[in-house]
Chain A
Amino acid sequence: MSKKILVVDDSKTALMMEREILEKRTSYQCVTACDGQDAVEKAQHEHPDLVLMDVVMPRMNGFEACKMMRQQSATREIPIVLVTTRSEESYMEAGFQSGCNDYITKPVDGAELVALLQSYLGE
């Protein structure tokens, strides 16, 4: 059974690209959410093997969603990779404090993203 990744971004453009990378370059299954709140709900129902999540989003941002997932038993152990345009150290630190496992910056390098996902999920 293929591993499932929950991709979270309020940008349709980013979702289109990340979905295509996952579907065409990996064997992972892809489900999407459009903001942090949607992500928290979908993570509980879909039981993804990994969450790839934007930070700046409406309703609930990636940091808040990450914290919420860490507080819930069903999602506590899921690896979370945050994706954002912000590269400042303090911002990354805030990401790790919210409970993420990894952090990558935009623009996303597709090959780098695949390698990172494979390091968590295997090929």
Chain B
Amino acid sequence: MNPNKNEKDQGEKTKPEKSEAKLSAVHPMNDVRLRAARKRLAESRDQEDAIDGLREIAANFLGSEEIGLFKVERRSATLQVFWSFGIDLEKYDLRRVLGDAGLQRVMRGEFHVELAARDRSGTMAKAQAFIPIRVSGQTVAILAILRLLPQKVNFDASDMALFQLLSDEAAGPLFGPIDDSKSVPEGSGIRA
């Protein structure tokens, strides 16, 4: 997936100058990180432990201590805050942040990644990422990585591999078996 693909949806006012925001090469020890993340999720005892694992992966591997998980409520076709760490998401407006098109793309299974970069007024826009948590081709939740630690300036190519792993493998440990018959059609009518 191309993390820069979604940037055109950012408002003109907040759109960062992207020329300086480039992904660095995949780190040679990335495989170690991926194996540890996979093992941690797979060995989760229950939902609470899987959530702990997600928090640990975000802090230790992605360098973020502000994360949130929005669950797709199938009956009402809405996104509800399921869990958060380091930030109160009570009044967080995911649709406003992602935009309608961005939200639809995440629902279709694409990452929405905003890289840290200076905007035209010189303000540093923070890096953040929204990762669809998928099962059987459906997005069942969205993981939001909302702020990086000061020593971690941006996401890199290794982080994209970790996003993919989370997208593909986190749903089972987090939510258990999911009934596909009540799925929300991809990209349609979801409300944040």
Contacts and interface: CB of A to CB of B under 8 A. Distances in A.
Contacts of A111: 27-29
A17 B33 contact: yes
A47 interface: no
Contacts of B39: 16
A111 to B, nearest CB: 6
B60 A110 contact: no
Interface size class of B (residues with CB under 8 A): 20 to 34
A120 to B, nearest CB: 19
Interface string A15-46: 01100110011000000000000000000000
Contact of B63 (A13, A24, A25, A107): A107
A17 B60 contact: yes
A17 B32 contact: yes
A12 interface: yes
A12 B61 CA distance: 12
Given A20-B35, A24-B32, A87-B151, A12 B60 contact: no
A11 interface: yes
A26 to B, nearest CB: 12
A87 B56 contact: no
B151 A13 contact: no
Interface of A: 11-14, 16-17, 20-21, 24-25, 85, 87, 105-111
26 contacts: A11-B56, A11-B60, A12-B43, A12-B53, A13-B53, A13-B60, A13-B61, A14-B60, A16-B35, A16-B36, A16-B39, A16-B40, A17-B33, A17-B36, A17-B60, A17-B61, A85-B59, A87-B149, A87-B151, A107-B60, A107-B61, A107-B62, A107-B152, A109-B27, A111-B27, A111-B29
Interface of B: 27-29, 32-33, 35-37, 39-40, 43, 53, 56-57, 59-63, 65, 149-152
Given A13-B56, A16-B36, 10 more contacts: A11-B59, A13-B40, A85-B63, A85-B149, A87-B149, A87-B151, A106-B149, A107-B63, A110-B29, A110-B33
